[in-house]
């Protein structure tokens, strides 16, 4: 969901890695900024002023060199993501057991359904977090199905689907930071730590969505509209990455951060080889793809799960609150304030609360009614 919607992808897209990408693990704790009036990214990463229990003695540190050298890493193995594309409606057969199916079409946003073996009927493909211009889209848990059937209403065209497996593919090795990575005491899993395949960001030998950076104005909370009680949230994050980067042709995962039910925080959108997650070395926010038309300067945090009839776990809500708190302090934002967001790309404005839900920007159920109702509590806690 960039500010200018990307072109519709072809049914089969060639994505390949152009160069070897060294992903930073951290900024060191020994950075000193004398006489600085504004927190730099290094200070943001290296200091901890919150008396929260999660702030362990090493909470201000991130593995690696403060001078920007590569951090110490350990090779870890992750299953390579497998995908199989199909076009049109009808039944598709996959060469592997698919955990997810991503679908996109043109026309009515509610104009397509899907069903898997064992279903008594079709499932409507509506209500998800992702939105696309001129059509609809959804990512659906497939339960390791090897076939699925897509149906479209009259007027829905250009139906494309992608079966995805992120748990059982051949192993690939990723260099993961050896020490925990933290942002002001908030521990997070870096992109290597959840198995991000950086080649997914490339298309025809070039970065599909080059990084652009703008001053932070607002924070938007989402839910991923995926099943609750997730036994393998890292695999789900990889599936969302595949769906966003390839199926929707956004070139990367749409959120800046994701949070699972255990309260683990995942680094989302790639922000460069230096600086901190979501920001560049100058403290500006990388543009992601979570709120179409209002992405630049708007940080997106997604809670894994469906939070329509149930709220987030205590751990997830605590991590969300702490993450918003440190980001708001970093940039001097009041989570409870009413602001006029101004899109730095096209000048479009919108009156919102600094910390809001996806539905405050667009017509969507996201982040689920129960989570939306909790945002007042989250804002207040993040302001203390």
Residue 29 covered by a domain: no
Pair 245, 126 in one domain: no
Confidence (pLDDT) at 126: 80
For 261-316, what is each residue's pLDDT tens digit? 999 999 999 999 876 899 999 999 999 999 999 999 999 999 999 999 999 999 99
Confidence of residue 83 (pLDDT cuts 50, 70, 90): very high
Residue 92 covered by a domain: yes
Q: What is the mean pLDDT of the chain?
A: 85
182, two tokens: 């933290």
Residue 183 covered by a domain: yes
CATH classification of the domain holding 51: 3.40.80.10
End residue of a domain, out of 142, 165, 188:
165
Report the percent of the chain where pLDDT is more than 70.
81
Pair 230, 292 in one domain: yes
Confidence (pLDDT) at 371: 98
Closest CA to 217 of 291, 67, 328: 328
- Lowest mean pLDDT: which of 18-22, 177-181, 380-384? 18-22
End residue of a domain, out of 137, 165, 193:
165
Residue 19 covered by a domain: no
117, two tokens: 């073996």
For 201-229, what is each residue's pLDDT tens digit? 999 999 999 999 999 999 999 999 999 99
Pair 136, 188 in one domain: no
DSSP string, 11-65: SS------S---------TT---TT-SS--HHHHHH------TT--TTTT--SS-
pLDDT for residue 334 is more than 50: yes
- DSSP letter at 1? -
Confidence (pLDDT) at 57: 29
Pair 250, 345 in one domain: yes
pLDDT for residue 93 is more than 60: yes
Average pLDDT, integer, range 51-79: 53
**Residue 255 near residue 301, CB atoms below 8 Å:** yes
Pair 157, 268 in one domain: no
Pair 119, 253 in one domain: no
Pair 259, 185 in one domain: yes
Average pLDDT, integer, range 81-98: 97
For 96-152, what is each residue's pLDDT tens digit? 999 999 999 999 888 899 999 999 999 999 868 998 889 999 999 999 999 999 999
Confidence (pLDDT) at 339: 98
Confidence (pLDDT) at 266: 98
For 248-272, what is each residue's pLDDT tens digit? 999 999 999 999 999 999 999 999 9
pLDDT for residue 45 is more than 80: no
- Lowest mean pLDDT: which of 15-19, 43-47, 147-151? 15-19
pLDDT for residue 24 is more than 90: no
Question: Which domain covers residue 57, as residue numbers?
Answer: 41-73+179-383
Confidence of residue 184 (pLDDT cuts 50, 70, 90): confident
Confidence (pLDDT) at 71: 64
Higher pLDDT, 41 or 330: 330
Pair 206, 342 in one domain: yes
pTM for the model stands at 0.85
Pair 134, 279 in one domain: no
Work out the number of other CB atoms within 10 angstroms of the CB of residue 211. Answer: 16
End residue of a domain, out of 165, 190, 216:
165
Pair 120, 159 in one domain: yes
Residue 8 covered by a domain: no
Asked if the peptide bond before residue 367 counts as cis, ω within 30 degrees of 0, the response is yes
Residue 27 covered by a domain: no
pLDDT for residue 235 is more than 70: yes
CATH classification of the domain holding 136: 2.60.120
Spell out the residues 6+ positions from residue 76 whose beta carbon is closer than 8 angstroms to its own.
Answer: 173, 174, 175, 176, 192, 193, 195
Average pLDDT, integer, range 54-64: 32
Residue reference for tokens 């693990």:
25
Residue 334 covered by a domain: yes
Confidence of residue 13 (pLDDT cuts 50, 70, 90): very low
Confidence (pLDDT) at 254: 98
Pair 276, 369 in one domain: yes
Q: How many domains does the chain have?
A: 2
Confidence (pLDDT) at 2: 53
Confidence (pLDDT) at 288: 98
Closest CA to 322 of 138, 184, 151, 223: 184
Pair 64, 114 in one domain: no
Residue 62 covered by a domain: yes
Confidence (pLDDT) at 1: 56
Confidence (pLDDT) at 269: 98
């Amino acid at each position: 969901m960039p500010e200018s919607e990307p072109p519709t992808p072809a049914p089969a897209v060639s994505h390949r890695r152009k160069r070897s990408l060294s992903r930073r693990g951290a900024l060191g704790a020994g950075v000193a900024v004398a006489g600085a009036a504004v927190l730099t990214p290094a200070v943001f990463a290296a200091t901890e002023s919150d008396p929260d229990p999660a702030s362990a003695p090493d909470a201000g540190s991130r593995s690696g060199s403060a001078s920007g050298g590569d951090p110490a890493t350990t090779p870890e193995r992750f299953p390579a993501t497998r995908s199989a594309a199909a076009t049109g409606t009808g039944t598709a057969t996959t060469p592997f057991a698919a955990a997810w199916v991503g679908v996109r079409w043109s026309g009515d946003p509610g104009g397509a359904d899907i069903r898997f073996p064992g279903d008594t009927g079709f499932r409507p493909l509506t209500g998800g977090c992702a939105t696309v211009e001129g059509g609809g889209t959804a990512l659906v848990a497939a339960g390791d199905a090897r076939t699925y059937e897509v149906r479209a209403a009259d007027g829905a065209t250009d139906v494309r689907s992608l079966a995805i497996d992120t748990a059982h593919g051949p192993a690939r090795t990723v260099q993961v930071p050896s020490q925990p990575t933290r942002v002001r005491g908030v521990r997070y899993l870096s992109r290597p730590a959840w198995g991000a395949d950086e080649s997914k960001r490339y298309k025809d030998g070039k970065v599909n969505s080059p990084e652009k950076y703008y001053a932070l104005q607002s924070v938007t909370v989402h839910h991923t509209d995926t099943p609750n009680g997730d036994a393998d949230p890292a695999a789900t994050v990889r599936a969302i990455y595949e769906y966003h980067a390839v199926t929707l042709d956004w070139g990367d995962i749409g959120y800046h951060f994701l949070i699972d039910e255990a309260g683990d925080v995942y680094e989302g959108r790639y922000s460069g080889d230096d600086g901190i997650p979501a920001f560049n070395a100058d403290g500006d926010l990388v543009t992601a793809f979570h709120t179409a038309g209002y992405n630049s300067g708007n940080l997106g945090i997604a809670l894994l799960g469906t939070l329509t009839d149930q709220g987030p776990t205590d751990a997830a809500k605590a991590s969300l609150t702490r993450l918003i708190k440190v980001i708001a302090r970093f940039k001097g934002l009041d989570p409870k304030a009413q602001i006029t967001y101004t899109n730095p790309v096209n000048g479009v404005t919108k009156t919102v609360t600094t910390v809001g839900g996806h539905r405050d920007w667009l017509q969507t159920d996201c982040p689920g009614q129960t989570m939306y109702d909790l945002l007042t509590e989250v804002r207040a806690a993040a302001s203390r």
